[in-house]
Chains A and B, each alone.
Chain A
């Protein structure tokens, strides 16, 4: 049934796309507060996947429980990285691309050297559910609910809390924010921490439904980059919709084109979108 197939694909696309969107939201946040294009972003997501994997395989911790732990760990890691590295390249386009690419080489090969290049996965099961004509693996549903919860919480944090509002202020205009008494350095620290934490968490959720291997980072970085730009650089909510578009487009494309070629559809959409709306689909000029 082609229609049902399309439906299943679309649902999978929404789920995968929303996970990519979580990772991309972190990248967007970091770009927003520091003007840094973080090419190591996908590698932090990879580390999140491995955190989930090791907590499960060494201590038998259910990935559901390990995700908050991952968030806390990566928040601290993100603040450390911001203090050590990011703050030296604030606002530098080429500089940030180069330095974070060095960081990316470093991180992915630490993972390669420590754990080897095998493909791993987490064989947990949350049952199978029937939704009308569709039967869904519980894993996907769990991953999707977690992602939505994470995205909603992040949005609430950015919209309602004092720190969140300060983060948005710094994104819009760091100098004006500073003149209004916002401690820009501290906000950047929190923004960097949160950005990396979103990457790590996105990875930890992705680990439920995706293979885990050291070089997966570059793929996730590529997706996050195009999603971030599609949503408008620095626009966190835009990144969410960008993620959905890319996820759905790639999943539905598998019906017509070989599945290995499907990502090309996402990249082609990205190029077209850039040409016609260079400020991003949801960005303002």
Chain B
């Protein structure tokens, strides 16, 4: 009984290691293609953000519509530190951690207010708080208001052995990859731990979990702390990578509803409550988005028309998410997936 299970885990870990090595080596043949690397870095950053949302919503069952507030506070922390403090202008890298930490504090404040609400009310309260934060940032001189903040390119790091030039995209790739892998591992470790099981039981039935003597509020706050740290670190890296952030409501602003919903789209496309799902989803969302932007770039908005349509089709065809479908097929065969499709077409 134990043996095949052990074998299966070995296969999984072997594949994981192989994928990580592939990800580390991947930029070598395309190092010259700046645009491609840029897209890969964005995929990794948004995979981290999606993973953060996945921990809070997919595992703990708290469907936040406010992850833009966490991503944005990370981004603004780094941007403002480089703007006001000389030290960070020459070395913004510690600010990624500070960004994560500030985002965690914001997350705890949001959680303290919102975690007593359930389901749709929780989602809408987080959305409203995000909008309040966005409006305050957009109207405060300290945060440069609606102008946004420009982040200078970090200076070269020169050592006797090698030189890292941050005007190129490649160094960001490895930083983003490291942050993404760490966040995926953290979510994996949490999901396998005692706390992860408690979180999942909160997701399935909060009242029943509380009746067993679990302090559900504290657990949700813990999940929020970790999730917010990841989202904030992703946001800080995004700020230094894109080198300009602003608080507009339109797509592209770091604090807009679009930024809150992106990780949700990615996680749902890829598969909620799985580790690999958010990564697949980010690759598809960012990759497809960029591909369509290039293909339909001759008419503003047309790419997003196509994206919206494709997205709705994906949602209907793969209700369990892509990784969810793969999992179902390997475990139970094509039956349940076919049944889903027939139900959709038959009605």
Contacts and interface: CB of A to CB of B under 8 A. Distances in A.
Given A98-B315, A117-B300, A258 B124 contact: no
Residue among A85, A101, A104, A116 with the highest chain B CB neighbour number at 10 A: A101
A218 B338 CA distance: 36
Interface in B107-161: 113, 116-117, 119-121, 123-125, 127-129, 131-132, 135-136, 138-139, 146
B124 A113 contact: no
Contact of A109 (B120, B138, B301, B316): B301
A219 B249 contact: yes
B131 A222 contact: yes
Given A103-B308, A109-B308, A278-B121, A267 B128 contact: yes
Q: Chain B: interface residue count, which band?
A: 35 or more
Contact of B301 (A93, A99, A113): A113
Contacts of A88: 316, 344, 347
Nearest to A219: B249
B342 interface: no
Interface of A: 37, 85, 87-88, 93-95, 97-99, 101-113, 116-117, 214-215, 218-219, 222, 225-226, 229, 233, 258, 260-261, 263-264, 267-268, 270-271, 274-275, 278
19 contacts: A37-B120, A87-B347, A94-B264, A97-B261, A98-B261, A99-B315, A105-B304, A105-B307, A106-B304, A110-B301, A113-B301, A113-B305, A117-B301, A225-B127, A226-B124, A261-B136, A271-B128, A274-B124, A278-B116
A215 B258 CA distance: 12
Interface in B209-264: 249-250, 257-258, 261, 264
B30 interface: no
Contact of A261 (B139, B258, B301, B307): B139
A93 B319 CA distance: 14
A257 to B, nearest CB: 8
A264 B131 contact: yes
Contact of A85 (B124, B128, B312): B312
Q: Which of B119, B124, B125, B304 has the most CB of A within 10 A?
A: B124
Contacts of B120: 37, 93, 233
Nearest to B124: A229
A95 B265 CA distance: 10
A171 to B, nearest CB: 15
Nearest to A117: B300
B277 interface: no
B26 interface: no
Given A101-B261, A109-B302, A218-B249, A263 B135 contact: yes
Contact of A225 (B116, B124, B311): B124
A260 B63 CA distance: 29
A261 B125 CA distance: 18
Interface string B28-45: 000000000000000000
Contacts of B258: 218
Nearest to A39: B261
Interface string B331-347: 00000000000001001
B192 interface: no
Residue among A88, A104, A109, A264 with the most chain B CB within 10 A?
Answer: A109
A271 B305 contact: no
Given A85-B312, A109-B304, 9 more contacts: A37-B120, A94-B57, A106-B308, A108-B301, A109-B303, A218-B258, A264-B132, A271-B128, A274-B128
A97 B264 contact: yes
Contacts of B265: 98, 101-102
A275 B264 contact: no
A30 to B, nearest CB: 14
Nearest to B131: A267
Instruction: Choose among A87, A97, A105, A110 the residue with the greatest number of B CB atoms under 10 Å from its CB.
Output: A105
Given A97-B264, A98-B268, A106 B299 contact: no
A275 B113 contact: yes
B117 A274 contact: yes
Nearest to B262: A101
B208 interface: no
Contacts of A268: 128, 132
B246 to A, nearest CB: 14
A108 B316 CA distance: 21
